[in-house]
Structure 1
Amino acid sequence: MQNPHNAFDLCPDVTGVILAGGRSRRMGRDKATLEIGGQTLFERTLTMLQGIFSRVLIAGDRPDLATAQVPCVPDIYPGSALGGLHAALKAAATPWVFVTPCDLPYPDELLIRLMLDHREGHEVVVPRTPQGLEPVFALYHKNCLPLMEEMLRQGDYRIYDFYPQVRVHHLDVQILSADWQRALLNLNTPEDLRRLKKESLMSPPVVSIVAKSGTGKTTLLEKLITEMKSRGYRVGAVKHDAHSFSIDHEGKDSWRMTQAGADTMLITSPEKIAMVKQNNRAEEPPLTETIQTYFNDVDIVLTEGFKRSAMPKIEVHRRERSPRLLCRGEEHDSTLFAVASDEPLELDVPVYDINDAKGLCDLITECFLS
């Protein structure tokens, strides 16, 4: 069974909302512009939301973050997260909004899609963890708007005070995605940021090679791996397959073990080890989880695909394949940091010759391994 949510499905009746109107008092600086892994927290959240929703807006008076495609909405009742949610819900052209704060370093698409699956018959869908409700990482229907407005007029700013008057679905930890704690982690203080950056240094950096099919992703990836290995780096590689695949041959012992129901099956030899591991409920785990689990012995991981991930990307471009880039044009992917092209391009990121693996490796080394 394949995941029913194709990576390119966009939800048309929900607007993604980034809460970015707070003053970041405890952090002492604007949390939206804090950088993790070469991206601001705002950019990481925006990239993730644009992979799920056809409309995204910013709740808060933030023209510095806004674009023509992603407008900002100032609070009608300023001074609280509820005020931001109210303004966004009032401005949204869709019956639903999904709201998230701008200070989540590891936003998780699977968790959000799980919440979308549970909204039928309800007006609020909100995670409930041992620490309590997560009202600023939740789905809200337009029916909530009059109740929110009445609360704000009365000076009540606690989002969940109107919950008893609407149909609420609580998502408990038993059905949340496996890494819900990581997905709901937020940054409030300088110490939180220092701790996170220290932890992030323990994981290898990841660079995704993306392109339209038939453009030459694998060819470039092979050259990059060869070049990085020649420089003495330990390199991991991940190939993304949007469909089901099998590396077992029918009738072989390993195939028979997997068919019998083994959740994890290993083949070992003096030269190599191979593993077949079944994904729970046919759901592909987040790329960050895969990297942390299987690549702690390498210096860098190069992936093929993962267009919708929040990882830094190099796009491969061939004019005869398509005049348009995946990451520039209708979409502006803030994680793009270089392009490998067979023609000159005027872009806001460096453009290399499609065969210049050495130059691209120089850039990768400078950005992620220095």
Structure 2
Amino acid sequence: MIEDCTALILAGGESRRMGQDKANLVLDGQTLLQRMVNIVQPLFAEVIVSVRQPRREVALPQVCDNPTQAGPLAGLTAGLERAKTRWVFAVACDMPFITPALIEYLARQRADWQAVVPRVGGYPQPLAAFYAAACLPAVHDCLEGNGKHSLRALLDTLPVRYVSEDEMRVTDTELASFFDLDTPQDVRQAMRQR
């Protein structure tokens, strides 16, 4: 169990490229949301689901994005405000192959940082990352500021521990954890891989 941390599953996206609600897509007999719940629930004492509107089919605590805000940053904000722990692990529901071993490895990197973020292909992966509750003022500033209202803009303002591909390959040799389902083609590829 990863102590002093809440898992936050982001399931409130608009799924424009997919053309349907990604959280309810079925892979290996489970919706993507249920699959993610099954991955993170054994690792964290509390799991929260971030949604745009309440989902009746979800038995876990839910937080709704502020209707005046949009995107994953709004979901992270709602989750950080709701969590009672010092840390939140934010993960998108469309990453069906993320491994518990990788999550545990990232958790061990937290130390005195305000965020622990994987970097794959030279890009940060802010939706498979740990965020300290202490970064909530910076999150609010990012949402209310005149700049970009994105997770990547937020990371530019925080002390971040970026975790390299080489480090993560110890627990996930192919980095399959970072295969996310954005389009119908991604879903077909995921079904072929299973």
Q: Fold-level match, TM-score > 0.5? A: yes
Correspondences of 1:334-345 after superposition (within 5 Å): none
CA RMSD of aligned residues (A): 1.5
2:2, 2:104 within 8 Å by CA — same for their partners in 1?
Answer: no
- 2:127 maps to what in 1? 136
- 1:158 maps to what in 2? 150
Q: Tell me whether 1:182 sits opposite 2:176 in the alignment.
A: yes
Q: How many angstroms apart in 2 are the aligned matches of 1:20 and 1:178? A: 24
1:126, 1:133 within 8 Å by CA — same for their partners in 2?
Answer: yes
**By how many angstroms is 1:35 displaced?**
1.0
2:165 alignment partner AA: V
1:44, 1:107 within 8 Å by CA — same for their partners in 2?
Answer: no
Q: How many angstroms apart in 2 are the aligned matches of 1:145 and 1:185? A: 28
Q: Deviations over 1:109-156 (max 9, x none)?
A: 000000111101111000012241001110000111111111111253
Q: How many angstroms apart in 2 are the aligned matches of 1:166 and 1:191? A: 35
Q: How many angstroms apart in 2 are the aligned matches of 1:41 and 1:165? A: 31
Q: Tell me whether 1:32 sits opposite 2:26 in the alignment.
A: no
- 1:51 maps to what in 2? 42
Q: How many angstroms apart in 2 are the aligned matches of 1:71 and 1:94? A: 15
1:161 alignment partner AA: A
Q: Deviations over 1:59-93 (max 9, x none)?
A: 123323431xx211011253110010011001101
1:98, 1:138 within 8 Å by CA — same for their partners in 2?
Answer: yes
- 1:75 maps to what in 2? 65
2:191 alignment partner AA: K
Look up the SS of the partner of 1:11 in the other structure: coil
1:75 alignment partner AA: D
Correspondences of 1:113-152 after superposition (within 5 Å): 113-152=104-143
1:59, 1:72 within 8 Å by CA — same for their partners in 2?
Answer: yes
1:21, 1:62 within 8 Å by CA — same for their partners in 2?
Answer: no
- 1:316 maps to what in 2? none
**By how many angstroms is 1:198 displaced?**
2.6
- 1:199 maps to what in 2? 193
Q: Deviations over 1:150-182 (max 9, x none)?
A: 111125322122334322101001110233521
Look up the SS of the partner of 1:191 in the other structure: helix
Q: How many angstroms apart in 1 are the aligned matches of 2:157 and 2:22? A: 33
Look up the SS of the partner of 2:85 in the other structure: coil
Q: Which runs of 5+ in 1 are unaligned?
A: 1-9, 201-370
TM-score w.r.t. length of structure 1: 0.49
**By how many angstroms is 1:194 displaced?**
1.5
Task: Flag the 1:80–1:121 CA change in 2: closer, same or farther, 3 A.
Answer: same
**Runs ≥4 in structure 1, deviation > 3 angstroms?**
none
1:16, 1:57 within 8 Å by CA — same for their partners in 2?
Answer: yes
- Could you tell me which of 151, 154, 171 is aligned with 2:163? 171
Task: Flag the 1:89–1:180 CA change in 2: closer, same or farther, 3 A.
Answer: farther
Correspondences of 1:352-363 after superposition (within 5 Å): none
- Give the number of the structure whose alpha-carbon radius of gyration is greater: 1
2:47 alignment partner AA: V
Task: Flag the 1:164–1:195 CA change in 2: closer, same or farther, 3 A.
Answer: closer
Number of positions where the alignment pairs a residue of Structure 1 with one of Structure 2 = 189
- Could you tell me which of 92, 104, 123 is aligned with 1:101? 92
